[in-house]
Amino acid sequence: MSQMLPLRPVDRDGTFEARRFQVFTARNMDKIPGLDRMPEDERFAMRVVANVLPFRVNEYVINELIDWEKAPDDPIYQLTIPQRGMLAPALFDRMADVLRRDASREEINRVAWEIRNELNPHPAGQMKLNVPQHDGEKLEGMQHKYNETVLFFPSQGQVCHSYCTFCFRWAQFVGDKDLQFASNEAERLHAYLRDHREVSDLLLTGGDPMVMKTRKLEEYLDPLLAADLEHVQTVRLGTKALTFWPYRFVTDKDADDLLRLFERLVNSGRHVALMAHYNHPQELKTPIAEEAIRRIRDTGVEIRAQGPLLAHINDSSEAWAELWRKQVRLGIIPYYMFVERDTGARHYFEVPLARAWEIYRDAMKQVSGLGRTARGPSMSAGPGKVEVQGITEVQGEKVFVLRFIQGRNPDWVQRPFFAKFDPNATWLDQLQPAFGEDKFFFQDEYDAMLASVESD
Can you give the residue ranges of every domain in the chain? 23-116
User: Distance between CA atoms of 444 and 29, rounded to whole angstroms?
Assistant: 49
What is the number of other CB atoms lying within 10 angstroms of the CB of residue 92? 18
If you average pLDDT over every residue of the chain, what do you get?
92
Structure pTM? 0.92
Q: Residue 294 gets which letter from DSSP?
A: H
| Phi/psi of residue 96, nearest 5 degrees | -60, -35
Give the pLDDT confidence score for residue 308 in this predicted structure: 97
Confidence grade of residue 135 (pLDDT, cut at 50, 70, 90): confident
**Confidence at 206, pLDDT banded by 50, 70, 90:** confident
Average pLDDT over residues 109-136: 80
pLDDT of 9 reads 52
pLDDT for 386: 98
Residue 221 scores a pLDDT above 70: yes
* Percent of the chain's residues with pLDDT above 90: 82
d(CA 138, CA 77): 40
pLDDT at 101 over 90: yes
For 43-71, what is the mean pLDDT? 96
The better pLDDT of the pair 174, 100 is held by 100
What is the pLDDT at residue 12? Answer: 46
pLDDT in tens, 299-311: 999 999 999 999 9
Q: Each residue of 62-83: pLDDT tens digit?
A: 999 999 999 999 999 999 999 9
Confidence of residue 251 (pLDDT cuts 50, 70, 90): very high
pLDDT tops 80 at residue 181 = no
Q: Is the pLDDT of residue 126 over 70?
A: no
Highest mean pLDDT among 6-10, 28-32, 288-292: 288-292
Residue 179 has what pLDDT? Answer: 47
Q: How far apart are CA 259 and CA 297, in angstroms?
A: 10
Q: Are 168 and 179 in contact (CB under 8 A)?
A: no
Average pLDDT over residues 245-256: 97
pLDDT digits (tens, 9 = 90+) for 268-284: 999 999 999 999 999 99
For the cut 90, the answer to whether the pLDDT of residue 313 exceeds it is yes
Mean pLDDT over 2-19 rounds to 61
- Hey, which residues does 378 pair with through a beta bridge? 338, 387
| E strand map for 218-351 | 234-239, 271-277, 302-309, 333-339
Please compute the mean of the pLDDT values over residues 335-353 and round it to a whole number: 95
Q: Are 246 and 205 in contact (CB under 8 A)?
A: no
- Tell me what percent of the residues of the chain surpass a pLDDT of 70: 93
What is the mean predicted confidence (pLDDT) over 145-164?
A: 93
Please state the rounded mean pLDDT for residues 31-59. Answer: 94
pLDDT of residue 125: 59
Average pLDDT over residues 419-434: 98
Instruction: Summarize pLDDT for 428-442 with one digit per residue, the tens.
Output: 999 999 999 999 999
Output the CA–CA distances (angstroms, integers) from residue 424 to 89, 326, 384, in the order listed. 20, 32, 22
